[in-house]
Amino acid sequence: MSWWHYFIVIIYGLCLSFVFFYSVSQFLLFLKAYSLTKPTNPAKKLSHFPKVCIQLPIYNEGEIVERLLKNIAQINYPTEALEIQVLDDSTDDSLEKNQALVKQLQQDGIPIQHFHRKNRTAFKAGALKEGLQQTKAEFIAVFDADFLPKANWLQQTLGYFEDAEVGVVQTRWGHLNKNYSLITQVQALALDFHFCIEQVGRNRGNHLINFNGTAGIWRKSCILDAGNWRGDTLTEDLDLSYRAQLKHWKIHYLNHVITPAELPIEMNAARSQQFRWNKGAAENFRLNYAKVRKAAHLPISTKIHAFFHLLNSSLFFVILTLAVLSFPVLFIKHEFPSSISFFYGFTVLGLSTFLYMMGYAYTYFKENKFSLKSALQFVFKFFSFFALAMGLSVSNSKAILEGHLGKKSSFIRTPKFNVLGKQKAKVKKGVPQRFKLINLIELGLLFYFILALVYAFQVQDFALFPFHLMLVFGFGFVTWSTLQSRFFRLNQ
């Protein structure tokens, strides 16, 4: 073999090693979550009603604001101890509608105020920070526009602040439209894994966890002590979470308190949300991991978990690298039989898929009764999730590289369509748009991996065939969905 053959094999092996060790860290979180045999201690009954401010950051959310405000108006809490802030950065015609809705609720006796900034400095983080300056409340709850907390949500969460070290209480996200389409089903599967395994496992293991940007409540003094909201990253929630925990505050996660929300229903919406989350995670690694590594009060195990936590989005770049190299690796394996010993080691690292699968299976069957039908459904959804993740790996890799390199970009709102259950969104014909470069790269990779499947038949080596098949499905699905959303757009 020549030097470039060895180079490809070494890079391929390093990428597989990263995936394997990341999978081991996830499996350890699964073991922590699985060992949680006792339910979470219930919140202590409130002896008094502290002042609470509910912040509702919105931006051009005209389709769902009325649903949000009607739901928040039903929160069961003494009005004299409650304050609701509509932090409205809207720039479209929804602004006047929102103002009218707030005035109507004020007339109904709801303690609600409308705030509008003409300059969206620091985006959501800036809106939350400005709202914080306008309240004297002791506790600050945050809900994005698509979240619908239950009426007793404050009673379910406030009692945990009896522990003076608790700075944040985070609840689990639910899904209003999980079964709308395959796109929403795989998103729900991934989010359920995050909340039921990662969040529970980190909380149980006393590792650093994160506020998820919404459906949680902060102690105001914790926000201020940690340095307040900042617009340094696209995931200001993760940033403030780490800064708070480095100041010795605790985040308490409640898996049994579910706050439902609407999942993105079309590919471009899901793509933009994933781009923001993945870029923000990379930005947070660059900004915060050195502080974690130097923190004397954190054990080594917590620092290791934080390393993989903050680098979780970078897995997309590693997987894309693996995918692109897998075709030449198949060629090298066939053309140089003496190199086959390298690949025996790689098969052991391939066990990472099964480590992942155990955690996802545990999450799925906690929600769905085990049967042959549900088992087959899980296998389909699990591999669809992996395929879709691979299909979005180009877009996500771009986000990750920008985050690590410090390139700034705007906060892109994820479109919502007020879709509940299997109710179909209204569709109308849109203006045809040209493909972007990233779409052309995805299309090119679709044909690249089709060629890899053909080559497997030529050399009769099917070791990587399932991997390449998922890549074809993933890039094919993403390309087709992108085409649909470019020629037809959903009414908002």
Catalytic sites, residue numbers: 89, 237
- 332-341: long-range contacts, CB 8 A cutoff, minimum separation 24: 332/1, 332/5, 332/8, 332/9, 333/461, 333/463, 334/459, 334/461, 336/1, 336/5, 338/1, 339/1, 339/5, 339/9
- Rounded-to-integer distance, Cα 234 and Cα 237, Å: 9
Rounded CA gap, 475 and 482, in Å? 10
Nearest to 50 by CA among 84, 86, 85, 80: 80
- Can you tell me the distance from the alpha carbon of 27 to that of 34, in angstroms, rounded to the nearest whole number? 10
139 and 219 in contact (C-beta within 8 Å)? yes
The residue written with tokens 């919105």 in the block is 58
- 337 to 323, 328, 347, 468: CA distances (angstroms): 21, 14, 16, 21
CA 45, CA 88: separation in Å to the nearest integer? 34
Q: From the CB of residue 216, how many other CB atoms can be counted at a distance below 10 Å?
A: 24
Q: Is the dihedral of CA 348, 352, 358, 364 positive or negative?
A: negative
Q: Hey, what are 286's tokens? A: 């660059």
* Helix-, strand-, coil-residue percentages of the chain, each rounded to 5: 60, 10, 30
Residue found by looking up tokens 């470019």 in the block: 486
